[in-house]
Amino acid sequence: MQSFNVEDMKQDYDTGKDDISMVTFKVDFDKVEKLEDTLKANCSRELKFYKH
């Protein structure tokens, strides 16, 4: 995450249900897709990304 200059990272364990936690952060628009691909390739859990 450091190499993508992620800012304002927060984790909320109470938002989700069924053992789901939400992580929010800000990253430059041009780095979003590469960050998403990197996280999916290096994480064994199911990840869902919501971008706005």
Q: What is the pLDDT of residues 25-42, one digit of tens each?
A: 888 888 888 988 998 898
For residue 16, pLDDT over 70 is answered with: no
In angstroms, how far is CA 10 from the centroid of its own chain?
10
At residue 47, does pLDDT exceed 80? Answer: yes
Q: What is the pLDDT of residue 15?
A: 60
